Amino acid sequence: MNLILIAPPAAGKGTQSEFICNHYNLNHLSTGDLLREVASKDDPKSLEIKELMNKGMLISDEIILDLIENKIKENEGFVFDGFPRTLNQAVSFDKLLEKLNKKIDKVIYLTVDKEVASQRIAGRYVCPSCGSVYNFKPDEEITPCKCGEALIKRKDDNVETFEKRYDVYMNETFPIIDFYREKGLISEVDSSKTPTEVFDDIKAVLD
C-alpha cells in the first residue's frame, strides 16, 4: 500500500505517519526529514537548502524528485509525508510511479484550522539526538527528551516562518487536493482532535 498525507504545516503529518507505518508496516518517507539530513552538511548546496528551509520556502522540484526516486527504488509500501507539495511534483510523481509500475492507493487530507496549527508550532520541540517530537502547552515546563537530551526548537518553527509556510501551503500545495480528488483518491480526516482520535479516523478510512 502507498499513501500520501497532505496537510498544512504542524497538522500532525509526522505523528500520524509514524502511527500508520507501525500499524500497517509501511516505510515513512518524509521529504522534510530527508532535507533536514541534507541541510545538516556544510557544502554550498546543503547550506542553500538550509537557508530556504529556515525561511519557510520550498526546495526545487528537481532536487525533491531525485530524493524520492532514489528512496522508492529501495523498498515497497510507503507513507509519503510532505510530498508531493506542488502540482508539478504531483504530476511528475505520477509519471515516475507509472515508470516504476507502482501506484498510490489513498491520499489522506488532514484538515486543521490555521490557529490550531500555529499553536502547535509554538509548542513543538524536537530532540537533536534521537529526533523525537514533543508538544507542550503554553504554560508547561519544557522537559528533556526520554533519551536524556535537552530539547530544541526547529529553526523554522517560529511565528514568522509559520506564516510563510502556511502561505506557501495555500498557494502551492492546496491545489493538489483537487488533482487527487479528481482521481477519486482523497479522504478527508479532521486533525484538530487528539493524535489517537485522528489515527482511529485514519484507520476507519484504510481498513
- Active site amino acids: 13, 85, 124, 154, 165
**Residue-wise DSSP of 126-144:** E-TTT--EEE--TTS--PP
> Which one of 2, 32, 186, 202 is in contact with ligand ADP (CB under 6 A)?
32
Is residue 120 a contact point for ligand ADP (CB under 6 A)? no
Query: CA distances (Å), 46 to each of 49, 82, 114, in order?
Result: 5, 19, 30
82 scored as a contact of ligand ADP (CB under 6 A): yes
Smallest gap from Cβ 166 to ligand ADP, in A, equals: 9
Gap between the Cα atoms of 84 and 86, Å rounded: 6
Contact 96, 111 (CB under 8 A): no
Interaction with ligand ADP in 122-181: which residues (CB under 6 A)?
A: 156, 165
Residues 5 to 24 in contact with ligand ADP, rule: CB under 6 A: 9-10, 13
* Binder among 6, 56, 108, 127 for ligand ADP (CB under 6 A): 56
List the one residue out of 204, 206, 178, 4 whose CA is nearest residue 104. 4
Peptide linkage before 84 cis (omega within 30 of 0): yes
Q: Would you state the cell numbers that stand for residue 108, as one nine-digit string?
A: 489522506
53 binds ligand ADP per the rule CB under 6 A: yes
Binding footprint of ligand ADP on the chain (CB under 6 A): 9-10, 13, 31-32, 35, 52-53, 56-59, 64, 82-83, 85, 89, 156, 165
